Chain A
Amino acid sequence: MQKSLHLDPNKCTGCLQCEMACAWENYRSFTVAKSRIKVFTFHREGRFVPYTCTQCDEAWCMTACPVDAIRLDPETGAKIVLEPTCVGCKVCTIACPFGTINYVAQTGKVQKCDLCGGAPACAKACPTGAITYVDSDWTGFGKMRQWAGKTDTNPATV
Chain B
Amino acid sequence: MAWTKNVLRVNLETGSCTTEPLNLAWAQDYLGQRGLATKYLVSEIDPKVDPFSPKNKLIFVTGPLTGTMAATGGRYSVVTKGPLTGAIACSNSGGYFGAELKFAGWDMVIFEGASPKPVYLLIQDGKAELVDAAHLWGKTVWETEEMLKRFHQDPQIRVAAIGRAGENRVLYAGIVNDLHRAAGRSGVGAVMGSKNLKAVAVRGTRTDAYTMADPEAFMRATEAGKQVLAANGVTGQGLPTYGTQVLMNVINELGALPTRNHRDIQFEGAQAISGEAMHTKRPTDGKANLVTNGACFGCTIACGRISRMDPSHFSIQDKPQYQGASGGVEYEAAWALGAANGVSDLETLTYANFLCNEDGFDPISFGATVGAAMELYELGLLTKEQVGFELPFGSTEAMVKLAELTARGEGFGKEIGLGSKRLCAKYGRPELSMTVKGQEFPAYDGRGLQGMGLAYATSNRGACHLRGYMVSPEVLGIPVKMEPQATEGKPAMLKAFQDLTAVVDSSGLCLFTTFAWGLSDIQPQIQAACEGDWSEERLLLVGERIWNLEREFNLAAGLTGKDDTLPPRLLKEPAKTGPQKGAVSKLPQMLPEYYRVRGWTPEGVPTAETRTRLGV
Bitwise interface map of B from 95 to 134 toward A, beta carbon under 8 Å scored 1, else 0: 0100100010000000000000000000000000000000
CB atoms of A15 and B325 under 8 A apart: no
Bitwise interface map of B from 65 to 80 toward A, beta carbon under 8 Å scored 1, else 0: 0011101000000000
Cβ-closest chain B residue relative to A42: B325
Identify the stretch in A44-52, A55-63, A80-88, A133-141 within 8 Å (CB) of chain B at 4 or more residues: A44-52
Bitwise interface map of A from 17 to 49 toward B, beta carbon under 8 Å scored 1, else 0: 100110110011111111000000001111110
Quick check: is A99 within 8 A (CB to CB) of the other chain? no
Cβ-closest chain B residue relative to A26: B207
Q: How far is the CA of A31 from the CA of B307 in the complex (A)?
A: 29
Chain B residues in 8 Å Cβ range of A17: 69, 298, 300
Quick check: is A14 within 8 A (CB to CB) of the other chain? yes
Contact of B204 among A31, A43, A47 (CB under 8 A): A31
Q: Given A13-B294, A46-B308, do A27 and B207 touch, yes or no (CB 8 Å)?
A: yes
Quick check: is A151 within 8 A (CB to CB) of the other chain? no
Chain A residues in 8 Å Cβ range of B294: 13-14, 46, 48
CB atoms of B298 and A20 under 8 A apart: yes
Q: How far is the CA of A28 from the CA of B96 in the complex (A)?
A: 20
Chain B residues in 8 Å Cβ range of A125: 69
Chain B residues in 8 Å Cβ range of A128: 302
Given A16-B96, A29-B211, A106-B207: 14 more A-B contacts, CB < 8 Å: A13-B292, A13-B294, A15-B297, A15-B299, A16-B298, A17-B300, A20-B69, A20-B298, A28-B207, A28-B211, A45-B325, A47-B292, A48-B292, A127-B230
Chain B, interface SS category? loop
Tell me how many residue pairs across A and B have CB atoms closer than 8 Å.
85
CB atoms of B156 and A43 under 8 A apart: no
Chain B: number of interface residues, binned into ranges: 35 or more
Cβ-closest chain B residue relative to A125: B69
Quick check: is B400 within 8 A (CB to CB) of the other chain? no
CB atoms of A28 and B293 under 8 A apart: no
Q: How far is the CA of A31 from the CA of B96 in the complex (A)?
A: 12
Q: How far is the CB of B3 from chain A (nearest CB, A)?
A: 14
Bitwise interface map of A from 94 to 126 toward B, beta carbon under 8 Å scored 1, else 0: 000000000000100000000000000000010
Cβ-closest chain A residue relative to B300: A127
Cβ-closest chain A residue relative to B326: A43
CB atoms of B207 and A29 under 8 A apart: yes
Which A residues fall within an 8 A CB radius of B? 13-17, 20-21, 23-24, 27-34, 43-48, 106, 125, 127-128
Chain B residues in 8 Å Cβ range of A15: 295-300, 302
Q: Given A14-B294, A24-B69, A46-B308, do A33 and B205 touch, yes or no (CB 8 Å)?
A: yes
Which B residues fall within an 8 A CB radius of A? 67-69, 71, 96, 99, 103, 156, 179, 203-209, 211, 215, 226, 230, 240, 291-300, 302, 304, 306-308, 324-326
Q: How far is the CB of A105 from chain B (nearest CB, A)?
A: 9
Chain A residues in 8 Å Cβ range of B206: 29, 31
Q: How far is the CB of B237 from chain A (nearest CB, A)?
A: 13
Most buried by A among B68, B207, B215: B207
A-B contact pairs, 24 of them (CB 8 A): A13-B240, A13-B293, A13-B294, A13-B302, A14-B295, A15-B295, A15-B296, A20-B68, A28-B207, A29-B211, A30-B67, A30-B69, A30-B99, A30-B103, A31-B67, A33-B103, A33-B204, A34-B205, A43-B325, A44-B326, A45-B291, A45-B325, A125-B69, A127-B71
CB atoms of A34 and B207 under 8 A apart: yes
Chain A residues in 8 Å Cβ range of B295: 13-15
Q: How far is the CA of A20 from the CA of B207 in the complex (A)?
A: 11
Chain B residues in 8 Å Cβ range of A24: 69
Chain B residues in 8 Å Cβ range of A31: 67, 103, 204-207, 209
CB atoms of B324 and A44 under 8 A apart: yes
Chain B residues in 8 Å Cβ range of A23: 207
Q: Given A14-B294, A20-B69, A106-B207, do A127 and B226 touch, yes or no (CB 8 Å)?
A: yes
Cβ-closest chain A residue relative to B296: A15
Chain B residues in 8 Å Cβ range of A46: 291-292, 294, 306-308, 325
Chain A residues in 8 Å Cβ range of B99: 30, 32
Chain B residues in 8 Å Cβ range of A43: 179, 324-326
Chain A residues in 8 Å Cβ range of B226: 127
Q: How far is the CA of A21 from the CA of B205 in the complex (A)?
A: 15
Chain B residues in 8 Å Cβ range of A45: 291, 324-325
Cβ-closest chain B residue relative to A23: B207
Across the A-B interface, the 8 shortest Cβ-Cβ residue pairs: A44-B324, A46-B325, A46-B291, A29-B207, A15-B295, A127-B300, A33-B205, A13-B302
Q: Given A17-B300, A127-B300, do A30 and B292 touch, yes or no (CB 8 Å)?
A: no
Q: How far is the CA of A17 from the CA of B240 in the complex (A)?
A: 16
Cβ-closest chain B residue relative to A40: B155
Q: How far is the CA of A29 from the CA of B230 in the complex (A)?
A: 25
Q: How far is the CB of A26 from chain B (nearest CB, A)?
A: 9
Cβ-closest chain A residue relative to B240: A13
Chain A residues in 8 Å Cβ range of B240: 13
Cβ-closest chain B residue relative to A44: B324
Q: How far is the CA of A16 from the CA of B300 in the complex (A)?
A: 9
Chain A residues in 8 Å Cβ range of B67: 30-31
